[in-house]
Amino acid sequence: MLIFLSVLGKMFKLGIHPDPITFNALINGLCNEGKIKEAVELFNEMGKRGHEPNVISYNTIINGLFKSGNRNMAVHVFKKMEQNGCKPNVVTYNTIIDNLCKNMLVNDAMEFLSEMLDRGIAPNVVTYNSIVHGFCNLGQLNEATRLFKEMGGRDVMPDTVSFTIFVDGLCKEGMVSEAWCVFETMPEKGVEPNIYTYNALMDGYCIQRQIIEARKVFEIMVRKGCAPFVHSYNILINGFCKSRMMDEAKSLLAEMCEKELTPDTVTYSTLMQGLCHVGRPQESLNLFKEMCSNGLLPNLVTYSILLDGFWKHGHLDEALKLLQSMQEKKLEPDIVFYTNILVEGMFIAGKLEVAKELFSKLFVDGIRPTVHTYSVMIKGLLKEGLSDEAYRLFSKMEDDGFMPDSCSYNVIIQGFLQIRDSSTAVRLIDEMVAGKGFSADSTTFQMLLDLESHDEIISRFMRGSSRGRKMK
């Protein structure tokens, strides 16, 4: 792009005047590179050089402004367009509608659709696809359905993209039977499903744990001559793993290799997580080694899956070796990894001092903990019988700039109820409910009910007219 701008500069110096096609190409290039400021400057330069921007110029700059997050500026340019004697076309409106829908502003997009119709600009399949997709992303299936049906009434024939968007939207809302019915109507409308349609339907069945139906869709896809991608296998593998059918999931990995489809990190990570969940962490480690030998680089998610599996199944030595391997690869853990995997893992493994050291190390490494990090520490300390230390840390949260949330209160209250320190538990409940406006969760409430009959303090508290009612 710098070369083109340099050439443009030389053209000006030599008295050669570039035409609108040259300007449009340069503006488009700058927008694609994310250099929106320079694109706007060049757009403004057109007028100064005697070339009024045409509809292509406006469409390009409006799209660039939307993509760079300058939504208000994009709409402003659109309004100036007609004032400057340039009429918007269907592409202009599609650009605005699509970008508004991607920003979840579907009602605003509908206003532009209405404006299009008022001006006699006929919406096309791209227009409707954008809005149907927008409503599906918001979970507003009634509106999506209405627009999908409206297309035919306006002589706009839904294409494969239209059907795929609609099938995917229905599946994401758990309406897989309805999605199947829509899928079945495609051939009647002269539209063939593609790989993305099949994937959406398979994923819908997998989410509903209807793995046999998902497999049938996969078989139909292959029978129709639509070659599955790695992602297609990943969807099915995830479905089998969620249904705890690990041997079937592993057979799909073998099938991929037979078809010379290279599994990716998602394939292996999904299988490893499934194996860990069913108590087969050693097989998970074997897959990890296979993945590395195939040249795939493990990421934080991969390590999180394995470490979590090893902690929970008591394989401490393997977990520590894996942690060392991760450090050698210089993978920097984030706060989620620190909290959910390292600190919690050490408590599970009974490594109290290591967990405390890791928590302290957060501040040294400049990693900001979260309220959840404190809750994990408090829960771990209570589990180890260190109620005083847990209470001190709970009190210190606010000093450190972290306001305890409902989860933090319930964790520490449950800890004190567990050790039958009723006075402290009741005082904390008062503070949580009256002072902070939080509520007891179902576990806390059940513990109070269990203790009510044989703990005088709890009994008196639960008989309290206003307090007792606030618990649930």
What would the mean pLDDT of 375-391 be, rounded to a whole number?
A: 88
Residue type, 352: L
Q: Which DSSP helix (H) or strand (E) runs through 134?
A: helix 125-137
Query: What is the rounded CA–CA span in Å between residue 411 and residue 415?
Result: 6
Query: Residue 36's pLDDT is what?
Result: 77
Q: pLDDT at residue 445 above 90?
A: no
Handedness of CA 38, 44, 50, 54 (dihedral sign): positive
- Using one digit for the tens of pLDDT, what is the confidence trace for 251-309? 999 999 899 899 999 999 999 999 999 989 889 989 999 998 988 988 888 888 888 88
Span 237-256, average pLDDT: 94
Inter-residue contact 417 to 441 (CB < 8 Å): no
Q: Give the residue-averaged pLDDT of 103-114.
A: 93
Residues 453-459, mean pLDDT to the nearest whole number:
82
DSSP string, 180-232: HHHHHHTGGGT----HHHHHHHHHHHHHTT-HHHHHHHHHHHHHTT----HHH
Q: Give Cα 402 to chain centroid, integer Å.
A: 26
Average pLDDT of 168-180? Answer: 95
Task: State the average pLDDT over residues 442-450.
Answer: 85
- What contacts 436, CB < 8 A, 6 or more positions away? 404, 406, 409
Q: By the 8 A CB rule, do 377 and 355 touch?
A: yes
| CA 246 – CA 243 distance, rounded (Å) | 8
Say yes or no to pLDDT of 465 above 50: no
Do the beta carbons of residue 309 and residue 281 sit within 8 Å?
yes
Extended strands (E) in 11-84: none
Task: Note the pLDDT of residue 262.
Answer: 92
DSSP string for residues in 63-115: HHHHHTT-HHHHHHHHHHHHHTT----HHHHHHHHHHHHHTT-HHHHHHHHHH
pLDDT confidence of residue 3: 44
466 or 27, which is more confident: 27
Band (pLDDT 50/70/90 cuts) for residue 176 is: very high
pLDDT at 376: 87
The whole-model pTM stands at 0.76
**Among residues of the chain, what percentage have pLDDT more than 70?**
93
Asked whether 99 and 109 are in contact (CB, 8 A), the reply is: no
